[in-house]
């Protein structure tokens, strides 16, 4: 019998079952896709964190340790691929004579580099010019000495006569911060910046130069063992971090305090594990509403056939079937929907991964993970069970056969409306949001030096309660409008239905709960599409803003400290192919009281031609207004918030800064006037600094020397232009482009393919909006075929019947789109604020992807139109035929 029943369902109700399975497949596919992406992104974060580190461990030897024994012990440690000793010493200065001019530096750091080091650690030393081995100068040191390969440099070493060496090449040290770290020291005592003067020497030459000093003071030379690991890391960054830090501590314990491990790999994984939690938060914030919406949509579609299903089950009971057999037949329908929707959903998830990432596993190896497949299938089975099987079980226990065969619409006001649950949810949402977005709030908390990090999951309550409360409030408003707005509704539908306007309005009043359900589902789908699209677009935009803020412009040419390059040098840079504009940027240092801060001199009239300045970078005025203030009053200065608080400044206050006068080499007091607050500025540090008028700074300091040139390439070909500038400038300046800075400043979260995730989320959002707008309305109209048939018998024309269908469609479209737009906009604002930790700097406004929103609107309207046409065509069938079937 079960087989016969299933065959009959597929033959007579196949379209309805397929539609329900298809919407259920959206829920299954969305959770499987997002879960698979989360798994793949964690693995990608771990791999990229490991690749970003040139030297995994810098093992600092204590003065009493035996280097040979320690090196042998490290090389025999499980998981170590290679280990080489690197020695450090200090020089009191370097000197060279170029073209009859003597150039000298202050203190310098000497490194003893063993053979094979560059091959073993290719990311630590990057050759720029000359030979890759031998005596090498860091790029900044070569610029300070005006030295090039082949020049002779004199090295001053304590306890030894000065030695001269010939420079073989100039190199860049991409990871100088970690290379010159104080191993074992807390972050607060780490150097603010790597040393300006660095010379790399072959180990034998280094040993001969530093031997006298080491004989007197063994601490004059320090030894590190640089190690690269090949141990397989867990896919999850948190687990990888635990494994790596545990191995480092184990090595320290095994060597009985003879070493301290500078765990560069652990530090990189520490940042990655925090980003992995942010990825999990994005999964919950952006994906969970879509999964819930797809489940609600499936439930609504299945519920539209609840009366039909109840009557059929009542008929089966009348003909002698027991309750268990009737329940088993209901389970067959639920199983058909769950199985079809589940399998189709897994296939859709794999297809989405292949389209967006090139692999069904979203960029990782293999297919959709079994764990997420089972979770998604369980979700599908739960939805089908709750919407088909449980109502049948409840009816068998509480409903008589006679009642089951009647269609009795529920009356009365639901409990949640009588108790004002929607208002309570919105009020609680507002309170939680205010607390979450307050001062000192951190969604992801990663205390320094603590192995575990935590997530403030309670912050989810704000957006979640807003979403739910808004849906219930829209339901309340929609049902109220239908219940008490019959007269205006009659006037609105009269152009479509003519003399049946009053009857149509009355029918919509009776069907207000069905229509309210369609309106709310459409609104939730539209709000999901809008909030997700707005967040993802804002995220992409702010990631680009962060990169440009750090680099300064598309390409930035930074002059070495002490260089006297003037702004006129920008003309030569402007002649390079691909350059649209070159903007000089002064970089000085100024004392405010006893505090030394960076000072940036800009041309207010042209600075925005090379870089973008957002209003969010400033306080006390917008970007345009404060730049105009700098231009109108040259002695104006923009100050950081911290300095404003420390010195109790008010707009217009005089602020005396001490700058170095390049003519006398002495500090002189220069009078400025406080004009506003600057929070962020291109190339500036994130703490305290000043922004002033470059012409005024040059006049007061006696020098127009430029610290950097901001090069605008029109947003394209940054790498090519940077390469041309490096070829022209050689080692005399540092050239960075936006693409390499984007990779450097972007977290491992931004480095994973969020663009692919965005395409998946937005694709599902369009499908859900179309389903909510079209499928629910179409099935609702199908369920009211009896109403249309009766209206036909009473004399309604085909034009009036089409008008009745179009009236319902227009009502659902207007209410759903308007409500969804409002809910989505508020939801997006809340998401961006609550997830502020993802953004650096925070956005000044939402970035809306208008083309995608237009596509969503068109898809929704198309689905509504298709549903209306289907309903209009069905309403034209002969009334006798319809009534016989029903």
pLDDT digits (tens, 9 = 90+) for 603-641: 999 998 888 888 888 888 888 899 999 999 999 999 988
* Tokens at 391, concatenated: 């109502």
Clarify whether residues 142 and 281 are in a common domain: no
pLDDT at 789 over 50: yes
Clarify whether residues 192 and 206 are in a common domain: yes
pLDDT at 441 over 60: no
Q: Report, as an integer, the average pLDDT of 462-477.
A: 91
Greatest mean pLDDT among 145-154, 490-499, 681-690: 145-154
More confident residue, 883 or 550: 550
More confident residue, 201 or 680: 201
Residues 6+ positions from 632 with CB-CB distance below 8 Å: none
Question: How far apart, in whole angstroms, are the C-alpha atoms of residue 540 and residue 282?
Answer: 14
Question: How far apart, in whole angstroms, are the C-alpha atoms of residue 364 and residue 236?
Answer: 13
Helix (H) or strand (E) holding 654: strand 654-661
Clarify whether residues 626 and 497 are in a common domain: no
Q: Could you count the other beta carbons within 10 Å of the beta carbon of residue 109?
A: 19
CA contacts within 13 A on the Cβ side of 7: 4
Tell me whether residue 527 is in a domain.
yes
Clarify whether residues 101 and 158 are in a common domain: yes
pLDDT at 447 over 50: no
Q: Report, as an integer, the average pLDDT of 683-687.
A: 80
pLDDT at 580 over 80: yes
Clarify whether residues 238 and 385 are in a common domain: yes
Residues in the chain: 886
**What does the mean pLDDT of the chain come to?**
81
Q: What is the pLDDT of residue 52?
A: 84
Question: How far apart, in whole angstroms, are the C-alpha atoms of residue 301 and residue 24?
Answer: 10
Q: Report, as an integer, the average pLDDT of 849-858.
A: 87
Span 37-90, pLDDT tens digits? 777 777 878 888 888 899 999 999 988 888 899 999 999 999 999 999 999 999
Q: Report, as an integer, the average pLDDT of 441-461.
A: 58
Residue 216 burial class via C-beta count within 10 angstroms: exposed 0-12, middle 13-18, buried 19 and up: exposed
Q: What is the pLDDT of residue 274?
A: 75
pLDDT at 651 over 80: yes
Residues 6+ positions from 387 with CB-CB distance below 8 Å: 298, 299, 302, 303, 334
Q: Return the ∠ at Cα 342 (arms to 336 and 344), rounded to 5°.
A: 100
Q: What domain count does the chain have?
A: 4
Q: Report, as an integer, the average pLDDT of 339-360.
A: 78
Domain boundary among 665, 683, 712: 712
Q: What is the pLDDT of residue 886?
A: 47
Give residue 535's Cα distance to chain centre. 9
pLDDT at 128 over 90: no
DSSP classification of residue 104? E
> What is the four-CA torsion angle of 233, 238, 243, 244, rounded to 10 degrees?
80
Clarify whether residues 705 and 741 are in a common domain: no
Tell me whether residue 75 is in a domain.
no
Nearest in space to 451 (alpha carbons), one of 643, 261, 249: 249
pLDDT at 699 over 60: yes
Span 132-159, pLDDT tens digits? 899 999 988 887 888 889 999 999 988 7
Question: How far apart, in whole angstroms, are the C-alpha atoms of residue 378 and residue 384?
Answer: 10
Clarify whether residues 376 and 493 are in a common domain: no
Nearest in space to 346 (alpha carbons), one of 315, 384, 375: 375
Tell me whether residue 416 is in a domain.
no
Span 112-125, pLDDT tens digits? 999 999 999 998 99
Q: Report, as an integer, the average pLDDT of 554-576.
A: 87
Clarify whether residues 547 and 560 are in a common domain: no
Q: Could you count the other beta carbons within 10 Å of the beta carbon of residue 6?
A: 16
Backbone angles phi, psi at 106, to 5 degrees: -85, -150
Helices then strands, each counted (H, E), the chain: 34, 25
Backbone angles phi, psi at 135, to 5 degrees: -80, 120
Nearest in space to 533 (alpha carbons), one of 748, 755, 720: 755
Contact criterion met (CB below 8 Å) for 607 and 627: yes
Tell me whether residue 340 is in a domain.
yes
Clarify whether residues 615 and 541 are in a common domain: no
Q: Could you count the other beta carbons within 10 Å of the beta carbon of residue 698?
A: 19
Question: How far apart, in whole angstroms, are the C-alpha atoms of residue 49 and residue 32?
Answer: 26
What's the maximum distance between 2 C-alpha atoms anywhere in the chain? 116
Nearest in space to 209 (alpha carbons), one of 255, 163, 240, 245: 163
DSSP classification of residue 449? T
More confident residue, 387 or 689: 689
Clarify whether residues 28 and 144 are in a common domain: no
Question: How far apart, in whole angstroms, are the C-alpha atoms of residue 334 and residue 329?
Answer: 9
Q: What is the pLDDT of residue 291?
A: 79
More confident residue, 258 or 327: 258
> What is the four-CA torsion angle of 734, 740, 742, 743, rounded to 10 degrees?
-130
Tell me whether residue 423 is in a domain.
no
Tell me whether residue 70 is in a domain.
no
Q: Return the ∠ at Cα 26 (arms to 24 and 27), rounded to 5°.
A: 70
Residues 6+ positions from 20 with CB-CB distance below 8 Å: 298, 301, 302, 337, 341
pLDDT at 261 over 90: yes
Span 710-722, pLDDT tens digits? 999 988 889 899 9
Tell me whether residue 425 is in a domain.
no
Q: Could you count the other beta carbons within 10 Å of the beta carbon of residue 166?
A: 11
More confident residue, 217 or 441: 217
Q: Among 66-80, 175-189, 433-447, whose mean pLDDT is lowest? A: 433-447
CA gyration radius, the chain: 35
Nearest in space to 57 (alpha carbons), one of 207, 276, 252, 232: 252
* Tokens at 587, concatenated: 């970089």
Clarify whether residues 570 and 632 are in a common domain: yes
pLDDT at 296 over 60: yes
Q: What is the pLDDT of residue 451?
A: 46
Q: What is the pLDDT of residue 827?
A: 87
Q: Report, as an integer, the average pLDDT of 817-827.
A: 92
* Tokens at 113, concatenated: 């580099």
Q: Return the ∠ at Cα 746 (arms to 44 and 722), rounded to 5°.
A: 115
Q: Report, as an integer, the average pLDDT of 402-406.
A: 51
Domain that holds residue 113: 80-230
Residues 6+ positions from 783 with CB-CB distance below 8 Å: 304, 305, 307, 308, 514
Between the alpha carbon of residue 216 and those of residues 160, 212, 415, the distances in Å are 11, 7, 88
Clarify whether residues 470 and 577 are in a common domain: no
* Tokens at 754, concatenated: 């969020």
Question: pLDDT confidence of 821, banded at 50, 70, 90?
Answer: very high
Q: What sign does the CA torsion over 826, 828, 832, 835 have?
A: positive
Strand partners of residue 138: 171
Question: How far apart, in whole angstroms, are the C-alpha atoms of residue 84 and residue 225?
Answer: 5
pLDDT at 427 over 90: yes
* Angular region, 281: left φ>0, alpha ψ -120 to 50, beta rest: alpha
Please name the residue ranges forming H helices in 54-98: 67-75
Tell me whether residue 451 is in a domain.
no
187-208 as b/e: b if 16+ CB within 10 A: eeeeeeebbbbbbbbbbebbee
Question: How far apart, in whole angstroms, are the C-alpha atoms of residue 846 and residue 825?
Answer: 9
* Tokens at 709, concatenated: 């040139």
Between the alpha carbon of residue 101 and those of residues 145, 196, 563, the distances in Å are 10, 21, 15
Question: How far apart, in whole angstroms, are the C-alpha atoms of residue 604 and residue 601?
Answer: 9
């Amino acid at each position: 019998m079960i087989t016969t029943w299933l065959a009959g369902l597929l033959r007579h109700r196949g379209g309805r079952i397929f539609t329900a399975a298809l919407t259920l497949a959206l829920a299954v596919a969305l959770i499987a896709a997002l879960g698979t992406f989360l798994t793949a992104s964690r693995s990608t974060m771990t791999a990229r964190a490991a690749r970003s580190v040139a030297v995994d461990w810098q093992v600092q030897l204590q003065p009493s340790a035996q280097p040979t024994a320690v090196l042998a012990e490290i090389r025999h440690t499980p998981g170590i691929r290679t280990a080489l000793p690197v020695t450090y010493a200090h020089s009191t200065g370097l000197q060279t004579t170029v073209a009859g001019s003597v150039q000298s530096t202050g203190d310098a750091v000497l490194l003893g580099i063993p053979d094979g080091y560059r091959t073993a650690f290719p990311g630590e030393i990057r050759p720029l010019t000359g030979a890759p081995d031998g005596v090498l100068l860091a790029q900044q040191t070569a610029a300070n000495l005006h030295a090039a390969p082949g020049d002779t440099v004199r090295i001053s070493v304590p306890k030894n006569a000065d030695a001269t060496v010939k420079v073989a090449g100039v190199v860049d040290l991409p990871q100088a911060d970690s290379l010159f770290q104080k191993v074992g020291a807390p972050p607060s005592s780490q150097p603010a910046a790597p040393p300006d003067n660095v010379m790399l020497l072959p180990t034998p030459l280094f040993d001969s130069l530093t031997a006298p000093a080491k004989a007197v003071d063994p601490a004059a030379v320090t030894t590190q063992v640089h190690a690269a690991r090949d141990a397989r890391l867990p896919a999850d960054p948190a687990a990888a971090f635990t494994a790596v830090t545990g191995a480092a501590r184990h090595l320290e314990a095994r060597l009985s305090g003879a070493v301290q491990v500078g765990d560069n790999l652990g530090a990189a994984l520490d940042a990655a594990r925090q980003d992995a939690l942010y990825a999990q938060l994005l999964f919950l914030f952006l994906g969970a509403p879509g999964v819930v919406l797809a489940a609600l949509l499936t439930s609504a579609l299945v519920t539209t056939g609840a009366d039909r299903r109840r009557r059929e089950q009542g008929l089966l009971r009348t003909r002698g079937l027991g309750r268990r057999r009737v329940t088993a037949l209901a389970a067959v329908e639920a199983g058909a929907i769950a199985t079809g929707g589940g399998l189709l959903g897994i296939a859709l998830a794999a297809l989405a991964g292949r389209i967006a990432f090139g692999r069904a596993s979203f960029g990782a190896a293999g297919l959709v993970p079994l764990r997420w497949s089972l979770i998604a299938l369980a979700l599908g089975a739960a939805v089908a069970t709750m919407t088909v099987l449980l109502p049948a079980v409840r009816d068998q226990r509480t409903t008589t056969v006679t009642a089951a065969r009647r269609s009795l619409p529920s009356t009365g006001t639901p409990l949640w409306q009588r108790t004002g649950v929607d208002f309570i949810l919105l009020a609680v949402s507002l309170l939680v949001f205010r607390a979450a977005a307050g001062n000192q709030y951190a969604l992801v908390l990663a205390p320094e030096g603590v192995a575990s990090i935590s997530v403030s999951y309670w912050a989810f309550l704000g957006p979640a309660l807003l979403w739910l409360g808004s849906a219930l409030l829209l339901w309340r408003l929609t049902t109220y409008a239908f219940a008490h707005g019959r007269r205006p509704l009659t006037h609105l539908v009269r152009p479509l239905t003519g003399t049946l306007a009053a009857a149509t309005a009355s029918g919509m009043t009776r069907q207000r709960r069905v229509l309210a359900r369609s309106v709310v589902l459409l609104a939730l789908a539209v709000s999901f599409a809008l909030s997700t699209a707005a967040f993802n677009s804002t995220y992409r935009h702010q990631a680009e803003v962060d990169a440009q803020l750090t680099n300064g412009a598309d390409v930035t040419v930074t002059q070495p400290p002490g260089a006297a390059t003037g702004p006129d040098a920008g003309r030569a840079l402007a002649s390079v192919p691909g350059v649209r504009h070159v903007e000089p940027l002064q970089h000085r240092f100024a004392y405010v009281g006893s505090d030394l801060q960076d000072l940036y001199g800009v041309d207010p009239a042209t600075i925005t031609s090379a870089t973008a300045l957002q209003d969010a970078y400033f306080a006390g005025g917008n970007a345009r207004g404060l730049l105009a203030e700098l231009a109108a009053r040259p002695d104006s200065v923009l100050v950081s918030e911290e300095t404003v608080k420390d010195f109790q400044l008010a707009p217009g206050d005089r602020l005396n800064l001490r700058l170095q006068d390049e003519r006398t080499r002495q500090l002189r007091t220069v009078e400025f006037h406080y004009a506003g607050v600057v929070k962020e500025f291109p190339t500036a540090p994130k703490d305290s600094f000043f922004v002033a008028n470059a012409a005024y700074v040059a006049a007061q300091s006696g020098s127009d020397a430029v610290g950097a040139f901001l090069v605008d390439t029109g947003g394209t070909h940054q790498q090519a232009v940077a390469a041309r500038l490096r070829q022209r400038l050689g080692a005399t300046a540092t050239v960075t482009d936006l693409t390499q800075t984007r990779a450097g400043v972007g977290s491992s979260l931004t480095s994973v393919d969020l663009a692919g995730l965005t395409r998946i989320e937005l694709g599902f959002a369009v499908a859900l909006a179309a389903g909510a707008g079209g499928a629910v309305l179409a099935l609702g109209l199908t369920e009211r075929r009896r109403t249309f048939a009766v209206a036909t018998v009473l004399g309604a024309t085909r034009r009036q019947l089409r008008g009745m269908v179009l009236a319902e469609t227009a009502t659902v479209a207007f209410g759903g789109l308007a409500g969804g737009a409002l809910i989505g906009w508020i939801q997006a604002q809340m998401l961006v604020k609550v997830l502020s930790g993802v953004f650096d700097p925070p956005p000044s406004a939402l970035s809306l992807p208008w083309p995608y929103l237009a596509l969503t609107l068109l898809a929704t309207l198309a689905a509504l139109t298709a549903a209306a046409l289907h309903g209009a065509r069905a309403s034209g069938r002969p009334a006798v035929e319809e009534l016989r079937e029903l």
